[in-house]
Amino acid sequence: MARPQRVRDAVRPYRTHRRIGLVALAGSLVAALPAPAAQAGASGGPALRIIDGRTHPVFSRADAVHQLVDVETETDSDEDGKRDTVRMRILRPRETDAGLRVATIIEASPYWGGGNDVPFHEVDLEEDGLPGGKGHTGLPGLLQGTERPTGSAVSASSVVFPGYTDNYFLPRGYAVAQVDSVGTGDSTGCPTSGGREETLGAKAAVDWLNGRARGWDPDGRPVRADWSTGNAAMMGISYNGTLPTAVAATGVEGLKAVVPIAGISSWYDYYRAGGGVVAPGGFQGEDTDVLAKAVYSRADREICKPVLDRLTAQQDRATGDYSPFWRERDYLPDARRIKAGVFLVHGLNDWNVKTRHTAQLWEALGRHGVPRKLWLHQAGHNNPMPLRMEEWLRQLHQWYDHWLYGLDNGALDEPAVDVEQADFTWRQQPAWPAPGTRRVTLRLNADGGLSPLPGRPAERTLNDAGRTLRAEQLVTDPAAPHPHRLAWTTEPLPRDLRLNGAPEVSVRASLDGTSPYATALLVDYGTATRAVAGTVQDTSQLVCYGEGVPGDTGCAYRTKHRTETADFKIVTRGWLDVRNRHSAARQSPVVEGREYRLRWAMQPQDYVVEKGHRLGVVLISTDHDYTLRHPAGTRMTVRAGVSSVTLPVAPPAGG
């Protein structure tokens, strides 16, 4: 099936650097090419080359074995009476046919088969809450453009895998595998947007590598992974970074390391927040059913329709309550079952998969003693590799060598956390939030001040216009009267203020009208050039990191951060459906005009508000780019003086 034009366009920037002529790069590639042969093992057969606790490149990417396997899963998601199968495409060193046994790095994805344009849900609601139209169309927020790997080539030298793992890790003695998620590409079954079926589909790849699942070649002949050590890692970004966490949370044996990059830890927190329907940034109206329809690319395009209809019914866009549907897609309660070493990565400007996903998984891993490592960078929904290429490959290589080959290489001795600062330098620290972080409460006072000292109680009122005005329009000029928002600011800060964690608001407030939302925005007021979501290629810096093959040079351009000079930045935000003020799982009646105590958290951040800037808190009701948009006019009345924001304040960096 032809790839939608938008997906092809999304692919081009990532893939352009991989089509550069090999002749021009010959000099650069010399250092990256593997040695001609592996060291012999004790038995005389091929073996890894390990020097100073690291695997070294001695195997040929061009001479690798390319293998296709259909692996049987434990589930029948399309209800056809047969267990689902997932297609696994493998590249492994040629020496595995001569007795070498290797570990495997897996990237499971629903995107290898392409994507579909799908109508989104309407978010501008009528007063009775019923949709008013069909909404817009587009590719969902998690859909990351990627080219479908060749599936029938005899020679691995003509097989191109997107990414860098084959170029870098296969020469060092790893197999690299791609798996079509259920309902996509050459797999059977149905996509379920984070459901148990998808988890078991990806898990089957690990089971097959360990001899616990059956597999067949495309001609139906049984095949086993006799070349596998049984040790596997899973990694990826976005949806591809969500599946590693899902599979690890099953406790599957043999999965030794996972690297979730901008991955989801609870699907409720991707499509909901505080009991309300809340969109991923940039994709208003997306939901689990939209995403499943977008990735539904298997050959049979009819069999999954009942499954997709159930997603629409069970996801419940009417209440936004946390239900058994969302519990199935919540991996946090099962973090205790994870046996793999977890290397988490997230962009501090990522509003697609928000920072809460990594922060809450990081915390859960710590509670259960799971070995963990964390990178926080200044970009958005981006791969960190081209931002900090050499250090990324060093640490990732070290992580895999330790967990998959048991090498004593200091992987757990280095500081656990790397954080990119506002000036794009990096610091290391032993934990996150940083040691010494404390909670500081500031009052939202009647005079518009944000201060540790409480002021006199007084009512302040806004009239909701979020249906027509974006949050960025509502936070400007905090000192000016504005009917559609409430704003509080500190005095100019006498020193830098470093935030590490999730701010929380506590307000006494009432609502009159149709919108049930309360939205809090934390704002840095002060002119500066700051990182925003996204990166740009630096075409002056091409780095060759691994062995190339025709169509895949093993080289990449570095990337730089996108920046913006502005007099304010929304640092973080958070949402609450006031009907869910007691619990995300159930609504409680709301009496219009009655004052309630409302408490909710914003998205976690690692951010420095500079000396001389003002820190602000802005309250609105509807958040145009995230919440459902009810008719304008809801009145929110907040009791100042007794309302507050609590900030996670860390010691100064280096202090």
Catalytic residue annotation: 238, 350, 381
228-237 and 102-109 strand pairing: parallel
Could you give the CA distance from residue 576 to residue 274 in angstroms, rounded to a whole number? 4
Could you give the CA distance from residue 417 to residue 482 in angstroms, rounded to a whole number? 41
Could you give the CA distance from residue 443 to residue 438 in angstroms, rounded to a whole number? 17
Task: Classify burial at 309, counting beta carbons within 10 Å of its beta carbon; exposed 0-12, middle 13-18, buried 19 or more.
Answer: exposed
Residue 4 carries which DSSP code?
P
For residue 86, give the nearest of 194, 185, 232 by alpha carbon: 185
The phi, psi pair for 66, rounded to 5°, reads -105, 125
3-class SS of residue 538 = strand
For residue 92, give the nearest of 102, 78, 77, 80 by alpha carbon: 102
Q: In which region does residue 320 sit, left (phi positive, over 0), alpha (psi from -120 to 50) or beta (all else)?
A: left
For residue 502, give the nearest of 651, 370, 357 by alpha carbon: 357
CB 137 within 8 A of CB 119: yes
Could you give the CA distance from residue 440 to residue 443 in angstroms, rounded to a whole number? 10
Q: Which residue has the tokens 């992974």?
A: 225
Longest distance between any two alpha carbons in the chain, whole Å: 83
3-class SS of residue 207 = helix
For the four alpha carbons of 554, 48, 214 and 64, in that order, the dihedral sign comes to positive
For residue 433, give the nearest of 259, 650, 257, 628 by alpha carbon: 650
CB 617 within 8 A of CB 523: yes
Strands across the sheet containing 614-620: 486-489, 614-620, 517-544, 555-577
Could you give the CA distance from residue 537 to residue 561 in angstroms, rounded to a whole number? 9
For residue 643, give the nearest of 597, 604, 601, 609 by alpha carbon: 597
DSSP 569-632: EEEEEEEEEGGGSS-TTS-----TT--EEEEEE---EEEEEPTT-EEEEEEES--TTTB-BPPS
Distances (CA, A) of 475 to 35, 573, 575, 615, 630: 59, 12, 16, 12, 20
What b/e sequence results for 424-433 when a residue is b if at least 16 CB atoms lie within 10 Å of its CB, and e otherwise?
A: eeeeebeebb
Q: How many CA atoms lie within 13 A of 173 on its CB side?
A: 25
